[in-house]
Amino acid sequence: MSAMIGIDIGGTKIAVGVVDENGTILASRRHPTPSNNRDDIIDACAALVKELSDEIPVAGIGVGAAGFVDDTRSNIIFAPNLAWTNEPLRDKLEQATGLPTVIENDANAAAWAEFRFGAARGASNVIVVTVGTGIGGGIIIDGQLLRGSAGFAGEIGHLKVKLNGRRCGCGQFGCWERYGSGRALVHEAHELAQYDAPRAKRLIELAGGDPLDITGLHISQAAAEGDPAAIECFDMVGTWLGIGMADLSAVLAPEMFVLAGGVSEAGELLRAPAIRALKANLTAQSYRPNPKVVLATLGNDAGIIGAADLARV
């Protein structure tokens, strides 16, 4: 089977790779994402595709991009980080490269990679929870990627977990990503430092003395040192993750959750409290198996691998 090209278009970088049918990246390139000009992004992608396809023959292109993708896998309906609205990305890339192209949401692409080649290989019903600045995700049901009406399924970060809770960037209140994400981790640390500065002493030290300068890196460093306040912040975020996973389990009954994204690199600091909260809040817990909760294995390559493989589907 011919190799495919996977493209992962992010707000700061474009990652492109040639991927074989086993999910192995044969060659790859990275390029800063051009700012403020959508055509420059297309041109950069096309140039990277040409460079790689001159080295290794490919049969097509799969693209993962942050934002809403229509159900024809052709157009970016809205991508705030890229300032795209109703962007006919498939047609433009096909015209620029001469290769058949499909477009996917980036979280869906990464989830598909973990399902096919990574932590969830061999499972059939999987939810991949991507924990970064916010929460993204991809849902696999009976071995199929769940896209939903108009292709909008999988926006799990906007589950409502708290009535009249924190304001979310989506315009609503109480969304899951305002409590179980990297931004939420920093919020917990700022709040702790404000109300209990002695307990947050190490975090404040790492931030140079200003509690409002505490970052996720400071929290991770302090937690690695065994600082109780930093561990408490991870515990709170992990607990909220578990609560959201319990809600998803009630609707979709996955056999496995995969924690992916930058914040998930904290490993057991996040996974352990998530498992506890999932078990405590799981409906009919005495009569059903607990979903497994595992860490992603493909890292930053998941977007490329998943996009390329979805071009075959």
pLDDT > 90: percent of the chain: 80
pLDDT of amino acid 169: 83
Domain ranges of the chain: 3-112+301-311, 122-296
Residue 125 has pLDDT above 90, yes or no: yes
DSSP 180-195: SSHHHHHHHHHHHHHH
Taking Cα atoms as reference points, which of 76, 71, 98, 54 lies closest to residue 9? 76
Give the tokens for residue 270: 């996040």
Average pLDDT over residues 154-178: 92
pLDDT of amino acid 1: 66
What is the average pLDDT score of the chain?
93
The CATH number given to 122-296 is 3.30.420.40
Residue 66: pLDDT band (50, 70, 90) is confident
User: Could you report how far apart the first and last alpha carbons of the chain are, in Å?
Assistant: 13
| Conformational region of residue 226, where left means phi above 0, alpha means psi within -120 to 50, and beta covers everything else | left
Give the tokens for residue 206: 């790492």
pTM greater than 0.85 (yes/no): yes
pLDDT of amino acid 189: 97
Distance, CA of 72 to CA of 84 (rounded, Å): 17
* 180 neighbors 166 (Cβ within 8 angstroms): no
Q: Which CATH superfamily is domain 3-112+301-311 in?
A: ATPase, nucleotide binding domain (3.30.420.40)
Using N-to-C axis directions, what is the helix angle for 182-195 and 216-224, rounded to 10°?
A: 80
Residue 126: pLDDT band (50, 70, 90) is very high
Q: Do domains 3-112+301-311 and 122-296 have the same CATH topology?
A: yes
